[in-house]
Amino acid sequence: MRMTEVQVITDSSTDVPPDVARRLGITVIPCLVRFGRKFYREGVDLTPQGFYALLRKTPVATSQPAVGVFEEIYRQAAERGRQIISIHSAGKLSGIYNAACSAARCLPQAVIEVVDSHSATLGAGLLSVAAAEAAQRGESLAAIADKVRNMVGRVRVFAVLDTLDYVRRGGRVTWALALVGSLLSIKPLVMLREGQVDLLERPRTLSAALRRLVDRVGELGALEQMWVLHTRAPEAAERLADMLAGIFPREQMAIAEAGVAIAAHAGPGAVGAACLMSSG
């Protein structure tokens, strides 16, 4: 008997690269970005170039897709005979996960697993990719959901921010709100784990911050996967990837630009690494 196919759904804040999403059949729901009174859908009516042009002159805010958007996409997948695993950024950092749960409750006839990644950007993206690869192998929804939830605690995201301005404006990271303006000259090294963004260190230069990021990644032990990410900082991302090559094979390390939903909070010039620790 042929097993029911599993559809992987995520949102644009998980930063799964478009070519990877197409190859693996991942449905990506666009997040909303607001400049002034106008809303844009990430990747639909707002390109990265347009985003950064607006960012220089207009305050930015982000918002989760409406519950009805999730509900319609879930319904379409269910009508095609698909079971669904929907993986999203940490509920502590965004309303996306709660919107997805609300939509799933509106469709009791559909078989839907909604997973809180307890991460964001490519930390959540790693989970979406792993789920899609398992779906392509024909694994069941239950097996895929178990696999993803077992991976959640092994994901770490480290990032060096060029400025604290955007994190502070977001209002969800309390330590950033508490820091005084004199600290804006630092290149803060932060870690995202279990739905929280923690300030690890306060290096004064990018070079020092990248070295400390590499040290922190090295402390994780064996890794199964790593992505390097950036917000309009491709040269810094290449530099970081080269520095990390002593920890994880460079040829297996992908580099991706974070989308605008993440860039709105991290700001331009950020660079980091999303890591999946070994289960062994």
CATH number of 155-277: 3.30.1180.10
- What confidence tens digit (pLDDT) does each residue in 63-111 have? 899 999 999 999 999 999 999 999 999 999 889 999 999 999 999 999 9
Distance CA 195, CA 94 (A): 10
Residue-level pLDDT at 86: 98
CB 200 within 8 A of CB 190: yes
Q: Above 60 in pLDDT, residue 2? A: no
Whether the predicted model's global pTM rises above the 0.75 cut: yes
- What confidence tens digit (pLDDT) does each residue in 58-73 have? 888 888 999 999 999 9
Categorize the per-residue pLDDT at 37 as very low, low, confident or very high, splitting at 50, 70 and 90.
confident
Q: Above 80 in pLDDT, residue 173? A: no
Same fold, 6-30+65-152 and 155-277: no
CB 158 within 8 A of CB 272: yes
DSSP secondary structure string, 253-272? -EEEE--HHHHHHH-TT-EE
What residue segments make up the domains of the chain, in order of their start?
6-30+65-152, 155-277
Categorize the per-residue pLDDT at 161 as very low, low, confident or very high, splitting at 50, 70 and 90.
very high
Summarize the confidence of residues 213-222 as an average pLDDT.
Answer: 97
83-88/112-116 β-pairing: parallel
Query: Comparing 164 with 275, which gets the higher pLDDT?
Result: 275
Give, in words, the CATH class of 6-30+65-152.
alpha beta
Closest CA to 165 of 92, 231, 257, 240: 231
**Where do the H-state alpha helices sit in 198-254?**
206-218, 234-244
Distance CA 214, CA 45 (A): 36
Angle at 272 between CA 270 and CA 274, to 5 degrees: 140
